[in-house]
Structure 1
């Protein structure tokens, strides 16, 4: 391996990590504050009773409650337990990691001020979350989605921090612990994602990447699978996606930016702990189909 390849790899890897870190830190702090000070009862109370308006409000709640990704699924499950309809909880879980001021800001920064990418990510992400929320009622047909055997604990999220001793700790210390835990969890995936991205840019022959990346269908499938497997935080994934500009189709990049926050390996494991298998299969299938359709449409009409 030549020195130039090592140098290029190092520059790409370090630049991705350094660009993403401020947004990860800011997002972790804000989500930790919301996690500690705002309960799911508050969210449940502000959701409209009308089905369509409720789903739309739940999807837009990420603008007000940009909670951490580790908490989205547990919060959604507990919203269901508190009487919030399944379709609203699903829209909440899918949209919050995308319709999030920190995520949208990081996307704008990562793509060097290309506002249309931010609009595509936010607009299509919101539309898909609302559409899947409405479709869930049809496909689920009133069947129970949540595992009845799953026992609620005092922990609201799956971040690894034990919230059960919050009475003994100050709220400030809770925020510190939660932020620290999320930074550690997100950091691992960021480093892995940056490594893979840098590897693609420097080690693999550009002709092979372009052959896959410029195909209108295979490029979308490849980037969706990449998003699912890499399990990146939505505050950092834009910095990974931006390195593929010019190598992968615009639809593939948009599909990556939408699917990753909605479902990945770690979120699938969280779903399996709380929800029934049949519901999980339907939900993941809908997400992949809708994200692929969005990417295909973008490829048909836009050239980034």
Structure 2
């Protein structure tokens, strides 16, 4: 073929292939939301189908915990996503004092303005450290934010309408634990105990996409654990013999330790744990306060998240120390205020 032929008959480029069609898949969030809606809508017919009185009691406790807790959970997740996406991460570094010892209580008090659960506080604390915030202040924020924000304290007031002192005791004890752990890290913590992964969570996404990604993540984690926590609370009220609970609850030391361990195992979101604690009416207010102080700071999902964000060496030291501090602070404020 000559050069003239090549000019007269140029190669025709193939048309671009159409973009692949992405099918809309139903995820775990949609399934959870549908189950919760169906459970609430058809709770009457479902209760009538259950003939056993023990199963009826289980259903009543389970549904009541969910119905009271879900609005606070949804509201907290939405506001947490808004703050995570629309508030610059560098804002926290500029807002905190430069001196580490002063930055710790300031970071703890900054948790008041973060209406979210502990699921969101772990990655935010990691982001704060990446932005240059001293780890002690970031850890104080991590512990305080899920426990003293307005959503959690309002939920506590609703769950304990006859005991407003429970709100004060929870906020004060949680803040004391957060600040104490921050100062303890300043004194004993080592930089090589923290190993942050090199991957941003929401970078590269538009604000709308980042908002829905953060909201879906929090709902998927917090909502699922809320259902498990409500089921566990209902099971405790039905399966465990009443004489066992009465015997355990009558011992001040055992009741505190039992609910501290229960808070670690149940892994309930902080926006919903007050309603579960209120359902454990066999136990004293002090032991239930320990449950509320320990839960947002030390539980199974938090330990796993802290391991993923900060590393195993950090979680192996930080979680047990926080558990002890939570038990001591909750018991002390319970003895004084309750």
Q: TM-score, normalised by structure 2?
A: 0.80
1:184 Cα shift? 2.5
Aligned residue number for residue 6 of structure 2: none
Aligned residue number for residue 153 of structure 1: 199
List runs of 5+ in structure 1 lacking aligned partners: 156-162
What is the CA RMSD across the aligned residues, in angstroms?
Answer: 2.0
**Residues 151-190 of structure 1: pairs in structure 2 closer than 5 A:** 151-155=197-201, 163-167=202-206, 171-190=207-226
- Taking the aligned partners of 2:130 and 2:220, their CA distance within structure 1 comes to 30
- Taking the aligned partners of 2:193 and 2:125, their CA distance within structure 1 comes to 12
- 1:66 and 1:101 in contact (8 A); partners too: yes
- For structure 1, which segment, 173-182 or 14-23, has the greater mean C-alpha deviation from structure 2 after superposition? 173-182
Structure 2 residue 315 is the aligned partner of structure 1 residue 280: yes
Aligned residue number for residue 188 of structure 2: 139
- 2:289 and 2:334 in contact (8 A); partners too: no
Structure 2 residue 64 is the aligned partner of structure 1 residue 15: yes
Aligned match of 1:76 in 122, 125, 147? 125
Structure 2 residue 139 is the aligned partner of structure 1 residue 90: yes
Once the two structures are superposed, residues 227-258 of structure 1 have per-residue CA deviations (whole angstroms, 9 ceiling, x without a partner) of: 1111111000001000113x112222111101
- 2:119 and 2:222 in contact (8 A); partners too: no
Aligned residue number for residue 278 of structure 2: 242
Once the two structures are superposed, residues 67-99 of structure 1 have per-residue CA deviations (whole angstroms, 9 ceiling, x without a partner) of: 442231222123223221121111011100011
**Residues 106-125 of structure 1: pairs in structure 2 closer than 5 A:** 106-125=155-174
- Taking the aligned partners of 1:113 and 1:43, their CA distance within structure 2 comes to 37
Once the two structures are superposed, residues 121-156 of structure 1 have per-residue CA deviations (whole angstroms, 9 ceiling, x without a partner) of: 10110011001110112222x442321xx442131x
Structure 2 residue 298 is the aligned partner of structure 1 residue 263: yes
Aligned residue number for residue 160 of structure 1: none
- 1:227 and 1:259 in contact (8 A); partners too: yes
- For structure 1, which segment, 235-244 or 294-303, has the greater mean C-alpha deviation from structure 2 after superposition? 294-303
1:109 Cα shift? 0.6
List runs of 5+ in structure 2 lacking aligned partners: 1-49
Residues 77 and 144 of structure 1: is their aligned pair in 2 closer, same or farther, counting only changes over 3 Å? Answer: same
Structure 2 residue 114 is the aligned partner of structure 1 residue 65: yes
Residues 68 and 4 of structure 1: is their aligned pair in 2 closer, same or farther, counting only changes over 3 Å? Answer: closer
Residues 38 and 299 of structure 1: is their aligned pair in 2 closer, same or farther, counting only changes over 3 Å? Answer: closer
Q: TM-score, normalised by structure 1?
A: 0.88
